[in-house]
């Protein structure tokens, strides 16, 4: 679907709701441009199953953090995605160019000022995603989550977590899996720490918060002062100072040059 009227309340996508094709759509891939080039980032999906259709794409790029930003209202701009999903109940993905941001909504925001590499990246991801969505009909069968009997069945979605691995691979797993791993790490961390502390204490090598130690226990040497208790204060002091410098520098930069955010992501 090629449409227009996006800047005026997404009228192009809303008009598609009157199309006789709408009842037969079970998934969608929305292509956007928040910049004139760069890699096409997968910044939002409806569920884990449609995200897995994108995962085999060449050079995948994206993170669920962007989707969380939209869900929390931190990113207030919207795309046709919200019409297709929120209003018409379809399941799908949002894929977009996002850099250079300085060309967005300017006379350089066009195909002439992008690159073949950028177009290839979005095109290759689109072809692979659509092939997987079209060949995985079994995953999108069953009653719809919005219970709309006038549209083709597309199944019930499940929440997922996803991110790319250095632009070479893509990880997708369920939110319940992330919760299970998080609980396992939270529980295993203290257990390992207790066991390690016990072993160190057993071999008389537990120097945590120790003030003085004897180098040779069987000899009458003077204990060595290691000032182990200072480690308790060293980390929070260093953390507070480094955090203050970073935050202070950011506010100073914003005050001196508030438009620098539009110059380069590396400068920011």
For the chain, domain boundaries: 11-173, 179-262
Bridge partners of 92, per DSSP, are 28
The two structure tokens encoding residue 208 = 């945590």
Among this protein's residues, is 32 annotated catalytic?
Answer: no
Q: Report the candidate in 84, 98, 95 with the shortest Cα–Cα distance to residue 44.
A: 95
Distance of alpha carbon 194 from alpha carbon 240, whole angstroms: 28
Distance of alpha carbon 83 from alpha carbon 156, whole angstroms: 18
The two structure tokens encoding residue 54 = 């994108």
| Strand (E) or helix (H) holding 169 | strand 169-174
Contact 29, 129 (CB under 8 A): yes
User: What would you report as the CA-atom Rg of the chain, rounded to the nearest whole angstrom?
Assistant: 27
User: How far from 40 is each of 49, 51, 157, 213, 268, CA to CA, in Å?
Assistant: 20, 15, 24, 58, 21
Residue 227, by phi and psi: left (phi above 0), alpha (psi -120 to 50) or beta? left
* Candidates 6, 7, 49, 99; catalytic one: 6
At 226 the pLDDT is 66
Instruction: Tell which wins on pLDDT, 179 or 111.
Output: 179
Distance of alpha carbon 190 from alpha carbon 197, whole angstroms: 10
- pLDDT for 191-246, tens place per residue? 998 999 889 878 777 766 666 666 655 556 667 666 666 667 778 899 999 999 99
Distance of alpha carbon 23 from alpha carbon 19, whole angstroms: 8
At 221 the pLDDT is 63
Question: Do strands 27-33 and 91-97 pair parallel, antiparallel, or not at all (unpaired)?
Answer: parallel
The two structure tokens encoding residue 9 = 């309340």
Q: Report the candidate in 79, 83, 84 with the shortest Cα–Cα distance to residue 67.
A: 79
DSSP letter assigned to residue 99: B
Cis peptide before 100 (omega within 30 of 0): yes
- pLDDT for 28-85, tens place per residue? 999 988 777 889 999 999 999 999 999 999 999 999 998 888 888 877 788 999 999 9
Residues contacting 244, CB < 8 A, separation 6+: none
Average pLDDT, the chain: 85
């Amino acid at each position: 679907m090629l449409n227009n009227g996006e800047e005026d309340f997404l009228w192009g996508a809303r008009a598609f709701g009157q199309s006789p094709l709408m009842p037969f759509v079970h998934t969608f891939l929305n292509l956007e441009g928040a910049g004139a080039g760069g890699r096409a980032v997968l910044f939002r999906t409806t569920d884990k199953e449609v995200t897995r259709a994108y995962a085999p794409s060449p050079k995948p790029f994206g993170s669920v953090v962007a989707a969380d930003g939209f869900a929390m209202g931190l990113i207030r701009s919207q795309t046709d995605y919200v019409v297709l999903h929120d209003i018409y109940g379809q399941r799908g993905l949002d894929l977009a160019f996002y850099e250079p941001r300085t060309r967005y909504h300017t006379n350089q925001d066009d195909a002439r000022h992008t690159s073949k590499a950028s177009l290839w990246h979005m095109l290759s991801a689109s072809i692979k995603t659509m092939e997987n969505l079209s060949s995985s009909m079994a995953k999108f069968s069953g009653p719809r989550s919005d219970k709309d009997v006038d549209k083709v069945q597309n199944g019930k979605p499940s929440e997922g977590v996803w991110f790319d691995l250095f632009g070479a691979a893509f990880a997708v797993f369920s939110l319940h899996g992330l919760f299970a791993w998080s609980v396992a790490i939270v529980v295993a961390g203290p257990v390992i720490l207790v066991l390690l502390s016990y072993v160190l204490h057993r071999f008389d090598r537990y120097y945590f918060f120790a003030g003085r130690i004897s180098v040779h226990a069987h000899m009458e040497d003077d204990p060595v002062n290691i000032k182990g208790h200072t480690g308790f204060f060293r980390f929070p002091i260093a953390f507070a100072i480094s955090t203050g410098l970073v935050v202070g520098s950011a506010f100073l930069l914003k005050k001196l040059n508030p438009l620098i955010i539009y110059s380069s992501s590396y400068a920011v």
